[in-house]
């Protein structure tokens, strides 16, 4: 059960999904996240199949089919029936089993099945994957949340379950939780999202967070040592006379002389009035007139009209843009609750009730029912029911950005003259009290905290701010860099490498992001693998020699994720080795070589060394750059506390004392036992 909200918390332990942390702790413009920590998924950026250029047209075979509820259910049944064969094809161990959770089918017959995994009957948190099956039934590419071998020697806990529960309750209280109690007893799981797969307990703590948001704190405890391995917050904090969208048309239901906010055209999405309550469904909005609200907070139905309208526009956006029928793609509507709590400055999506909830803002004067907030929050539900991106680390930033991206898509789709489409997040609700938006997609750092570009520590930043990397990528991919005015709003988007980006239009950018989310991303996808996934999606939709594919490369490079085609432009030259080199466990160092030629003089003082290493528990690794004369430059030291998977980053080396031409080597050594991996590729770029 996952819930999401719009604002972020000031507490480093809270994983509440919020729209921002500034001024007010708690606007929930965020989405549902699934369970895990960041790790690079399998698959290289070149994974997209070669396609014939189509001059901007979409490959019709890669378009997702619109499935009826019965067709989708049948495909899931087929996948479950074939799961043993699929597990063998993937080389899974004897104790591992797959459980089909979702499915998409392309027009060319390719089926993308999203699986959860179990080990000896226990759920594997971080074991999810997307498996492609060709029309002929052959198992194709698999996008895995973890590449670690699933081997757990001991399945009998050494620590009692109540010890894990006490630890979880203590963590919740430390984060300011009120009315704290375990929602359910600790359950045994295999924790595979970070480092080595481990027998663990998962405890879920309920009650309320410190700002009144419902609490759903998940705490993972090592069943052998009692050590806390991980924690995350499951609540992620985002004719009608509306407050924000003017006068709009609403779909309602008439029964006798009464009308209700029940949208029969959109899965019977209903809108309820909690009337300052914090639990239950509330009362379905019902009245004898089919005109709702008066555009101000003096009428309780005004917020109801905004919420009902936002739900309808979000439903239509997904249906008409992607062929998706509802949040779960099963034709079933969610429901909305307005007037939650007293002066509650937040909004959130909750997977448990499959519902959207909106507070009324400070002094109950500004309900958080704006259109992009609605689109943002309900998009968390879409993320939860597709990739299930973990709400922590880089995956959490991608989760938040996905809701910003699709919330923006909803706003442009609605084409409402009172709330025009823009690349500003939460500009209508004025949470900061100064008339400024919560976030800016063209230059995220304008909010004072969000990040414009990727760097090695971005995963340690609050997810509402690390989301800036993907938000910036999406803006650049859609509109390009530089100064421009769109719908009356001025933008001026920079690039991290100082080179321009030409946009491909928002419609194409949305198609690429949605396909990557639904068929490539997993719970542990990070920025490097998001680049891989979006390139694969662009290749499938438009071809790998298309302008769209190149634009994806350029937009990611412009936010410091990967390089531009041909090495980066601006006179820069890249040399790359893509051959895999196995790294022995706790063994001797291995090297991968690159021969540089055609340069004059010495290497630069800002030699870029891009490293892509697939390896569980990356803290085991020591990485060096070896110059042609044998001089060694330390890129990364070992760290017993760095349990994350994979090294996918770019180091800058002052190599100005070295002759440029010659054989350079990447030297890697695993200096601790139990984890293995390989050098996937590495690259030298001379500016």
- pLDDT for position 643: 86
Helix (H, G, I), strand (E, B) or coil at 477: helix
What are the boundaries of each domain within the chain?
66-144, 161-233, 239-386+405-425, 439-566, 573-686
- pLDDT for position 471: 98
**Class level of CATH domain 573-686:** mainly beta
For strands 3-5 and 347-350, give the pairing. antiparallel
CATH of domain 439-566: 1.10.390.10
Report how far residue 95's alpha carbon sits from residue 301's, in angstroms, rounded to the nearest whole number. 54
CATH architecture, domain defined by 239-386+405-425: Roll (3.10)
Average pLDDT for 283-298? 95
Write down how long the chain is: 687
Taking only the tens place, the pLDDT of each residue in 97-141 is 999 999 999 999 999 999 999 999 999 999 999 999 999 888 888
Taking only the tens place, the pLDDT of each residue in 514-570 is 999 999 999 999 999 999 999 999 999 999 889 999 999 999 999 999 888 865 433
Average pLDDT for 82-92? 92
Average pLDDT for 614-642? 94
Task: Tokens for 568, please give them.
Answer: 């980066």
Confidence of residue 56 (pLDDT cuts 50, 70, 90): low
Of residues 24 and 116, the one with the higher pLDDT is 116
For strands 258-260 and 253-255, give the pairing. antiparallel
pTM for the complete prediction? 0.74
Comparing 17-31, 59-73, 668-682, the range with the smallest average pLDDT is 17-31
- pLDDT for position 69: 87
Does 66-144 match 161-233 in CATH topology? yes
Would the pLDDT of 657 be above 60? yes
The percentage of residues in the chain with a pLDDT greater than 70, rounded to a whole number, is 90
Q: Please name the residue that has the structure tokens 């196995």.
A: 582
Confidence of residue 12 (pLDDT cuts 50, 70, 90): very low
- pLDDT for position 137: 87
Average pLDDT for 298-307? 97
Would the pLDDT of 24 be above 70? no
User: Would you tell me which CATH number, out of the four given (3.10.450.490, 3.40.630.30, 3.40.47.40, 3.40.640.10), belongs to the domain 66-144?
Assistant: 3.10.450.490
Confidence of residue 572 (pLDDT cuts 50, 70, 90): low
Strand partners, 98: 117
Phi, psi of 326, rounded to the nearest 5 degrees: 85, 170
Tell me the average pLDDT of the chain: 87
- pLDDT for position 371: 96
464 catalytic per annotation: yes
- pLDDT for position 304: 97
- pLDDT for position 179: 67
> How many Cα neighbours within 13 Å face the side chain of 601?
6
Confidence of residue 42 (pLDDT cuts 50, 70, 90): very low
472 catalytic per annotation: no
Task: Tokens for 551, please give them.
Answer: 């634009």
Report how far residue 22's alpha carbon sits from residue 495's, in angstroms, rounded to the nearest whole number. 25
CA distances to 8, 96, 349, 418, 594 from 427, rounded to whole Å, are 17, 48, 20, 12, 49
Would the pLDDT of 423 be above 90? yes
Average pLDDT for 306-334? 96
165, 216, 236, 377: the catalytic one is: 377
308, 464, 472, 615: the catalytic one is: 464
- pLDDT for position 9: 33
What fold, for 161-233? Nuclear Transport Factor 2; Chain: A, (3.10.450)
């Amino acid at each position: 059960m996952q819930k999401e909200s719009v604002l972020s918390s000031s507490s480093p332990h809270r994983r509440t999904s919020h729209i921002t942390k500034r001024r007010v702790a708690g606007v929930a413009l965020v989405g549902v996240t699934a369970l895990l920590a960041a790790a690079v998924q399998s698959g290289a950026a070149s994974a997209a199949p070669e396609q014939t250029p189509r001059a901007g047209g979409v490959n019709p075979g890669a378009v997702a089919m619109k499935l009826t509820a019965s067709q989708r259910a049948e495909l899931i049944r087929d996948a479950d029936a074939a799961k043993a064969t699929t597990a063998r094809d993937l080389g899974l161990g004897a104790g591992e089993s797959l459980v089909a959770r979702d499915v998409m089918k392309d027009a060319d017959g390719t089926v993308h099945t999203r699986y959860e995994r179990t080990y000896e009957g226990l759920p594997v948190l971080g074991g999810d994957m997307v498996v492609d099956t060709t029309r002929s039934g052959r198992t194709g590419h698999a996008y895995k949340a973890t590449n670690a071998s699933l081997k757990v020697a001991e399945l009998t806990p050494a620590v009692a379950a109540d010890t894990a529960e006490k630890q979880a309750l203590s963590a919740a209280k430390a984060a300011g939780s009120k009315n704290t109690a375990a929602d359910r007893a600790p359950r045994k799981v295999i924790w595979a999202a970070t480092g080595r797969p481990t027998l663990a307990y998962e405890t879920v703590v309920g009650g309320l967070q410190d700002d009144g948001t419902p609490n759903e704190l998940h705490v993972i405890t090592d069943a052998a040592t009692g050590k806390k391995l991980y924690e995350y917050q499951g609540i992620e904090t985002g004719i009608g006379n509306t407050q924000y969208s003017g006068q709009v048309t609403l779909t309602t239901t008439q029964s006798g002389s009464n009308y209700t906010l029940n949208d029969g055209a959109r899965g019977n999405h209903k809108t309820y009035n909690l009337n300052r309550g914090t639990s239950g469904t509330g009362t379905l909005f019902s009245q004898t007139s089919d005109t709702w609200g008066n555009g101000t907070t003096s009428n309780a139905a005004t917020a109801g009209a905004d919420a009902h309208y936002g739900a309808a526009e979000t439903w239509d956006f997904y249906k008409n843009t992607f062929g998706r029928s509802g949040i779960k793609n099963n034709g079933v509507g969610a429901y909305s609750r307005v007037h939650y709590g007293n002066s509650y400055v937040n909004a959130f999506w909750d997977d448990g009730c499959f519902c959207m909830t909106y507070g009324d803002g400070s002094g109950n004067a500004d309900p958080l029912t704006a259109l992009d907030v609605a689109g943002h929050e309900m998009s968390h539900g879409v993320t939860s029911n597709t990739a299930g991106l973990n709400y922590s680390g880089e995956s959490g930033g991608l989760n938040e950005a996905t809701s910003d991206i699709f919330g923006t898509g909803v706003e442009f789709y609605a084409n409402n003259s009172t709330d025009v489409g823009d690349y500003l997040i939460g500009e209508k609700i004025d949470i900061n009290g100064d008339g400024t938006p919560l976030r800016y997609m063209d230059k995220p750092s304008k909010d004072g905290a969000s990040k414009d570009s990727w760097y090695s520590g971005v995963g340690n930043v609050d997810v509402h701010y690390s989301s800036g990397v993907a938000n910036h990528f999406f803006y650049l991919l859609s509109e390009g860099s530089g100064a421009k005015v769109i719908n009356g709003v001025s933008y001026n988007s920079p690039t991290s490498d100082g080179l321009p980006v030409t946009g491909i239009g928002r419609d194409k950018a949305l198609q690429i992001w949605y396909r990557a989310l639904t068929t490539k991303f997993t719970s542990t996808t990070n920025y490097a693998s998001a680049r891989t996934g979006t390139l694969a999606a662009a290749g499938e939709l438009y071809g790998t020699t298309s302008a769209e594919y190149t634009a994806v490369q350029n937009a990611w490079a412009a936010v410091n994720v990967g390089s531009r085609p041909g090495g980066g432009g601006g006179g820069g030259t890249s040399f790359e080795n893509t051959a895999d080199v196995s790294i022995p466990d706790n063994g001797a160092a291995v090297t991968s070589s690159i021969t540089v030629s055609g340069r004059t003089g010495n290497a630069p003082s800002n030699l870029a060394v891009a490293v892509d290493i697939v390896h569980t528990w990356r803290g085991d690794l020591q990485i060096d750059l070896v110059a042609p004369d044998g001089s060694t430059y330390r890129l990364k030291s070992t760290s017993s506390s760095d349990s994350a998977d994979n090294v996918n980053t770019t180091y800058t080396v002052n190599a100005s004392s070295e002759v440029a031409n010659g054989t350079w080597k990447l030297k890697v050594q695993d200096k601790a036992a139990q984890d293995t991996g390989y050098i996937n590729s590495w690259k030298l770029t001379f500016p």
